[in-house]
């Protein structure tokens, strides 16, 4: 049962908590100097844009990739261009041992993890009656297990450090039954990570923030397929897919001290797709 007025009159020791030592200048709040940010799925698409945004704000980036070895060159380019440290590590996020080992390697190399962006994902977009159990397991192994493994072992680091920040890439497909492609397993996998992330925001309230980004269609390899593209343009109030340069600022906001009062939020960025 919730508190009554008499219960509310009792002062709880330690409350209210103090305000954080956040700069009052808004531009200063976005600076990432000295921060260490891990981004999964950073070889291309949304993850690469997130890594770029962090580097542009002066942060160091640890770019996790799976098969896209271009991540190595792209990390080197970010280091050169922005005078930060960027490095690329190959890791399959659906393999818990690789996740544990790579988190450990990251902490050994960089000394800490300030922000972990669990962004890697995949889709097998089929109706359930046409999908094999193996295909279901594959999607869940990356979209659900992969996020859970990263969160669990980054969370251990956050708890030990006494600070941390987890950002999960979910999808508007966690909010809506996306049309016209029937893809219940992808939709369900994203709904899982959204609610999981909100639940972690409470569990980790003493030491870390957790927020979720729910993109609509962005023009990447996982954007609208040729079969769905015309409906994607029609459904989006802005009449197009997003460009990845239009999402990096949101991740930078969530990663930075501009968002110190945000935790447990799920932010849609979809060009108005879910409005109707
Ligand atoms: N684009 C959209 O319209 C859209 C909309 C909503 C949500 N999203 C979500 O946004 C995230 C990024 O997708 P994107 O649009 O940027 O497409 P993308 O360029 O294809 O990115 C997907 C990334 O996930 C990585 N990945 C896949 N399986 C992996 C595994 N087993 N281990 C580690 N990494 C793995 C890929 O790494 P490698 O290439 O190195 O193998 C790739 O970098 C995904 O979670 C996706 O579901 C995208």
Is 275 within the bounds of a domain? Answer: no
**Which residue minimizes the CA distance to atom 15 of ligand 1?**
222
Is 9 within the bounds of a domain? Answer: no
Is 247 within the bounds of a domain? Answer: yes
pLDDT over threshold 90, residue 108: yes
- pLDDT value, residue 66: 98
pLDDT over threshold 90, residue 105: yes
What's the mean per-residue pLDDT of the chain? 97
17-26 contacts at long range (C-beta below 8 A, 24 or more positions apart) = 20/257, 20/260, 22/257, 22/260, 23/257, 26/258
pLDDT band (50, 70, 90) for residue 3: confident
* pLDDT tens string 185-236: 999 999 999 999 999 999 999 999 999 999 999 999 999 999 999 999 999 9
Among residues of the chain, what percentage have pLDDT more than 70? 100
**Which residue minimizes the CA distance to atom 39 of ligand 1?**
68
- Which residues are designated catalytic? 171, 186, 190
- pLDDT value, residue 1: 79
- pLDDT value, residue 136: 98
**Which residue minimizes the CA distance to atom 30 of ligand 1?**
92
From the CA of 119, how far away is ligand 1's center (Å)?
7
- pLDDT value, residue 2: 86
The pTM (predicted TM-score) of the whole model is: 0.98
- For the segment 124-137, the average pLDDT, to the nearest whole number, is 98
For residue 116, the number of C-alpha atoms closer than 13 Å in the C-beta half-sphere is 28
Whole domain around residue 112: which residue ranges? 25-269
CA 172 – CA 183 distance, rounded (Å): 13
The two tokens of residue 183 are 């893809």
The finding on whether 119 has its CB within 6 A of some atom of ligand 1 is yes
Is 274 within the bounds of a domain? Answer: no
Is 276 within the bounds of a domain? Answer: no
From the CA of 107, how far away is ligand 1's center (Å)?
24
Probe residue for ligand 1, chosen from 40, 45, 212 as the CB with the greatest number of ligand atoms within 8 Å: 45
Is 5 within the bounds of a domain? Answer: no
**Total domains present in the chain:** 1
* pLDDT tens string 25-53: 999 999 999 999 999 999 999 999 999 99
Probe residue for ligand 1, chosen from 222, 242, 251 as the CB with the greatest number of ligand atoms within 8 Å: 222
Nearest-atom index, ligand 1, CA of 71? 40
Is 208 within the bounds of a domain? Answer: yes
- pLDDT value, residue 57: 98
Nearest-atom index, ligand 1, CA of 170? 7
The domain that holds 70 is classified in CATH as: 3.40.50.720
Is 238 within the bounds of a domain? Answer: yes
- For the segment 84-111, the average pLDDT, to the nearest whole number, is 98
């Amino acid at each position: 049962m919730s508190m009554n007025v008499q219960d509310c009159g009792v002062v709880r020791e330690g409350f209210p908590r103090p305000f954080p030592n956040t700069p009052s200048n808004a531009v200063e709040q976005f600076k990432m100097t000295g921060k260490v940010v891990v981004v999964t799925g950073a070889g291309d698409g949304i993850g690469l844009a997130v890594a770029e945004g962090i580097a542009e704000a002066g942060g160091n980036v640890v770019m996790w990739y799976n098969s896209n070895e271009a991540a190595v060159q792209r990390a080197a380019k970010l280091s050169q261009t922005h005078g930060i440290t960027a490095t690329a590590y190959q890791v399959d996020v659906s393999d818990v041992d690789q996740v544990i080992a790579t988190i450990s390697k990251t902490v050994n190399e960089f000394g800490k993890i300030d922000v972990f962006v669990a962004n890697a994902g995949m889709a097998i977009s089929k109706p359930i009656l046409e999908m094999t159990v193996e295909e279901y397991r594959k999607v869940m192994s990356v979209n659900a297990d992969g996020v859970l493994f990263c969160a669990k072992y980054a969370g251990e680091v956050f708890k030990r450090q006494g600070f941390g920040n987890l950002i999960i890439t979910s999808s508007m497909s966690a909010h809506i039954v996306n049309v016209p492609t029937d893809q219940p397993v992808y939709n369900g996998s994203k709904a899982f990570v959204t609610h999981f992330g909100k639940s972690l925001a409470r569990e980790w309230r003493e030491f870390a923030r957790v927020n979720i980004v729910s993109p609509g269609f962005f023009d990447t390899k996982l954007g609208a397929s040729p079969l769905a593209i015309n409906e994607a343009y029609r459904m989006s109030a802005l009449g197009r897919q997003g460009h990845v340069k239009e999402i990096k600022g949101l991740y930078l906001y969530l990663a930075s001290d501009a968002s110190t009062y945000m935790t447990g939020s799920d932010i849609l960025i979809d060009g108005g797709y879910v409005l109707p």
